Each structure stands twice: as structure tokens, then as C-alpha cells.
Amino acid sequence: MSGLGGLNKSPDGVVIGLAQLKLPVVDTPQQLAEQTARIVEMTAKARRGLSTMDLIVFPEYSLHGLSMNTDPALMCRIDGPEVAAFKAACKENRIWGCFSIMEYNPDGNPYNTGLIIDDQGEIRLNYRKLHPWVPVEPWEPGDLGIPVCDGPNGSRLALIICHDGMFPEMARECAYLGADIMIRTAGYTAPIRHSWQITNQANAFCNLMYTVSVCMSGSDGTFDSMGEAMIVNFDGVPLVNGGGRPDEIVSGEVRPALVREARRLWGVENNIYQLGHRGYVAVKGGATDCPYTYIKDLANESYRLPWEDEVVVKDGTSVGFPVPEREYKPKQR
């Protein structure tokens, strides 16, 4: 159940709005300011339209559009005016918000950043996209890991961005860190529709976790984003499906207490537990070793595919980006 889109809110429910924001064109600082104001107004619309709403989620690229423009004049800072406006909107409307910015990086390409701001205007989660959509996106690989935070009404939130959701390891990490709701924001266009749907469902089922996901919508004159807001139950069954109507806010209720109950009580298909307790019927506590070569190799920084030398696309030159010369240096954590 989704409480009729959140109209009938349960005492332990979290009502989430997914804003299928119309795809903008943002080529100048003036257009950036105008789009910031538009998102602020949509935040107010969410509160006016549904008094029970706890969290409004805006898609990836909702502020910058799909131009992939890395002009420093258009990039945002966490202490900049765009984020300040989002913080004020959340506080004024007494609502949590999830926002997308392209973040200035003095040491390289900008970050594709997602922020969760609470209803007091405080940033509760800051995430930088780990897996930019190569070869199309020029963004710096994220360096903050996958943070989680306490959310409204006792929930535990995680945020991933677009292409991140195609890697099952991302959703597994969110759940492993305790998230019962995983937000996925995106700017995807129609060719990804089927992949979008099945990964949102699989990420939910494999981790006993709600997934709530939304794309940009409509056309900017060049690209057509698909909307396709989804709320998927922790058993993998979609609870809410949006279409492609621009600026529609698709809403529904989730109940994190039911996630916690399933994780605690399920035997069959409690996969997030069983991953680390293989065959516990046969051996006490189950096998707790790591049988996965790729995980060991990633940890040792020696990940290499059997067909590695045959991979053709290994940089962004096919879409016009120069061959990078700078190597990635992860931060020490």
C-alpha cells in the first residue's frame, strides 16, 4: 500500500514526493538563478499540494540541465547561493528535500552531487556520484563513499545517482549501512526505461529496502527525459509508478518499520543477511568467508576483467572529451 499516494498517512509512515521536473536549459548564470527559483517554488508546491508529505525529491540535473557544461561560472558550492536557497525553502515549508547540484572542484572536474536537507534547513547528507555515466558524463568520480543519514519519522536514508543504480554493489552498500529507503535520482532518457525499472525492483528485493526513484521529464529541445518516478516495495513489487508528465509530483507512503521487521524475521530470501552467512542450515552461523574474486580484487586495487584488453571505449573521446592525463587519487579516510 502507498496510502493513496500519501493522502492517508500511517503513524509510522514516510510520505515521499518525486518531482518529475521539466528538463531545463541552463547556459548562463542568469538561467541558473532562474532554475534555482523554480526548484524553490516546486518545493513550496509540494507542501501546498500534500500536507502529509515528509520529503520532496528532485531529479539529477534538475538545476543544471543535460548540457554537461563544466563552465566554472555555472558550478555550485555547498556554501553558495543555490544551496542556501534550497535550505531556506526546506525550512520555510517545513519539509525535507533532496536536491542535485554540479559542484565546483578546485582540483579537477566538477562533482555530480546530491544533498538531503532536513525541515530545519540543515544538510543531513552530502553524496558525490561514485559512477558517472561514462563515456557521456565528465564528472569527477565521487570521493565521499556512500553516506546514510537519519530521515523523517524514524527512517534511514541513502542517496545514489542515476548510473549508480546499475551496480548492485551500490544498493547493497546502502542496505549494509542500515538504509531502509534508498533514493535514486536521474536524468535518464527513454532508451534506459526498461533497465531503470528492473534495477529499481531488483535493488529493492535483493536488499529488503524501499527504493524511491525519479528522472527529469520532458524536452529541452535536444534531449527527452522520461520521468518514470517509482516507489518499489522491499519485496520488489512497485507501489507507485509515474509517467512522463513534466512537473508532476508523484507521491506515495513507505513504512520503514516493515523493512526492519522483514530484515529481522524473514528466513527465505533474507538475502542481505544470507550473503555473509552462507549455508547456515549446514554449518553453525553459516560460512562467513568471501568467495568472490572480484570483491577481493577490488579491495586489492587489482580488478581486471578476462576481456580487459578487448574493451574498446575507455575514455570520453567518442563524445568529444579529451583523453584525461590526471590519475585518480582517493582521499584517505
Q: Give the pLDDT band (50/70/90) at residue 332.
A: low
Is position 224 within any domain? yes
Over residues 51-109, the pLDDT tens digits come to 999 999 999 999 999 999 999 999 999 999 999 999 999 999 999 999 999 999 999 99
Q: 32 lies in a domain?
A: yes
Q: What is the pLDDT of residues 18-51, one digit of tens each?
A: 999 999 999 999 999 999 999 999 999 999 999 9
Higher pLDDT, residue 270 or 1:
270
pLDDT in the model for residue 103: 98
Query: Which active-site residues does the annotation give?
Result: 60, 129, 162
Q: What is the CATH number of the domain that holds 98?
A: 3.60.110.10
Total of domains in the chain? 1
- CA dihedral defined by 184, 187, 193, 195, rounded to 10 degrees? -50
Q: At 134, is the pLDDT very low, low, confident or very high (cuts 50, 70, 90)?
A: very high
* pLDDT tens digits for range 186-210: 999 989 999 999 999 999 999 999 9
List beta partners, residue 55. 16, 96
Given this model, what pLDDT does residue 206 score? 98
Q: Is 275 within a domain?
A: no
Confidence of residue 333 (pLDDT cuts 50, 70, 90): low
Q: Residue 14 sits in which domain range? A: 3-269
Q: Is residue 128 part of a domain?
A: yes
Going through the chain in order, the beta strands assigned E by DSSP cover 14-20, 55-57, 96-103, 111-117, 123-128, 148-150, 156-161, 181-186, 210-215, 217-219, 224-226, 230-232, 238-241, 248-254
Side chain identity at residue 28, one-letter code: T
Considering the domain boundaries, does residue 158 fall inside one? yes
For 282-292, letters b (16+ CB in 10 Å) and e give: eeeeeeeeeee
Would 323 be classed as within a structural domain?
A: no
**Does some domain include residue 282?**
no
List pLDDT tens digits, range 208-246.
999 999 999 999 999 999 999 999 999 999 999 999 999
In a domain, 289, yes or no: no
